[in-house]
Amino acid sequence: MSVRAAATQEAAAAPARKAADYKSDCKPIWCPGCGDYSVLAAFTKAFAALALAPEKVVVVSGIGCSSRIPAYTSCYGFHGVHGRSLAAATGLKLARPDLAVIVASGDGDGYSIGGNHFLHACRRNVDLTYVVMDNHVYGMTKGQPSPTTEPDWDSKLSPGGTGLRTFHPLVIALAAGANFVARAFAGDPNGTADIIAEAIRTPGFSFVEIMSACVTFRPEQREWKQHVHRAMVQATDDPGRAARRLMTDDGFNLGVLYKGNRAPYQPRIGKGTKGPADLEKGFRI
C-alpha cells in the first residue's frame, strides 16, 4: 500500500480533532492585527480537517515574523536559517516520507535570500506544502522592500520607491514546475484552511501564496479585504493556461489556480542501500 493510501486510511480511522489541538501554549508576539494570526488559525483548521496526528506533522520555517509560526503549533517544528526552510524540509521529507511537511515563509525569506531554493523545490516536486505569507515587505527587520514590493512604494528606507519590477511568485512557480498553485487571503481563514488542506492532500510540491497584511509597515494593506474575490475559473491542469490567466488577472483572485498531475519526486536509493541509516554509515569517520 502506498504511503498516501496508508495515511488516508489512518486519517479515516483517526479520532476527530479540533483546531485547538494543534495550538501550542506559546502566545504569538505578532503585532495586533497582523495577518499571520489568521494564517495560524488556517493552519490549525486545515490540520483538524485532515485529522492529522500532531506528531505526524512538521512545520518548517526560515526567519521573519511569518517564520515564527512553528512555535505556535503543537506539531513538530523547525525554525531554521533565513531563506533555507525548503532545503531543510526537502531533506526531512525524503528521510521521513510518512510525515506531512508544511513549510512556512515570508516574501523576503522565500523570494529574496531563498529565491533559488524556491525555483529548485518547484522543479524537484518533492511532496511538500509551501506556504508564503506575502506582505510585500520585510516586517521583522522594520520595513525594507522585498521582491514583491510595488516599485513606487515610498518609505523612509526606499524614498520614492525602488523602481524595480515586482517578482510574480505564482507564475514563477508554474514555470519552475510546482504541481499545485493557489492564492489565499489571510482575512479569510476558512477559505485559506480549505486551500491549505487541499494543498496537503495533493501529491508533489504545492505552493500557496497567502496575502497576509503587515499592518505596521504596510497599513494600507488593511484595504485588501475590499478587493479580494474568488477566482471565477476552475483550476486548470495546463500550466501555460494558468500562467496566462495569472499574468492578466488583478492579483486579488483567490483559490486553487493550477493543479497538475506530475508524480512527486521519489529518491532513488542505490543498490544495497536500505535507507537514511545506511547512508549515514557511509559518512561515518
Ligand X SMILES: Cc1ncc(C[n+]2csc(CCOP(=O)(O)OP(=O)(O)O)c2C)c(N)n1
138's contact among ligand SF4, ligand X, none, with CB below 5 to 8 A by partner kind, is: ligand X
**Shortest Cβ distance from residue 268 to ligand X (Å)?**
32
Residue with cell 529574496: 112
For ligand X, the binding residue among 45, 82, 245, 259 (CB under 6 A) is 82
Residue with cell 545506511: 278
**Quick check: 258 and 204 in contact, CB under 8 A?**
no
- Strand 57-61 to strand 100-106: parallel, antiparallel, or no bridges (unpaired)? parallel
Interaction with ligand X in 92-121: which residues (CB under 6 A)? 106-109
| Contact set with ligand SF4 (CB under 6 A) | 30-31, 34, 36, 65, 135, 139-140, 214-217
- Strand 253-259 to strand 180-185: parallel, antiparallel, or no bridges (unpaired)? antiparallel
In the bound state with ligand SF4, the residue whose beta carbon lies nearer, of 145 and 177, is 145
Interaction with ligand X in 169-198: which residues (CB under 6 A)? none
Binding part of the chain for ligand X, among 60-68, 225-233, 248-256, 262-270 by CB under 6 A, reads 60-68
34's contact among ligand X, ligand SF4, none, with CB below 5 to 8 A by partner kind, is: ligand SF4
Buried b / exposed e over 195-225, threshold 16 CB at 10 Å, is bbbbbbbbbbbbbbbbbbbbbbbbeebeebe
Could you tell me the three cell numbers for 244?
496566462
Q: Any contact of residue 65 with ligand X (CB under 6 A)? A: yes
Report how far residue 159's alpha carbon sits from residue 88's, in angstroms, rounded to the nearest whole number: 36
For ligand X, the binding residue among 61, 125, 129, 146 (CB under 6 A) is 146
Report how far residue 32's alpha carbon sits from residue 54's, in angstroms, rounded to the nearest whole number: 27
**Shortest Cβ distance from residue 137 to ligand X (Å)?**
6
Please give the residue ranges that form the binding site for ligand X (CB under 6 A).
63-66, 82, 106-109, 133, 135, 137-141, 146, 214
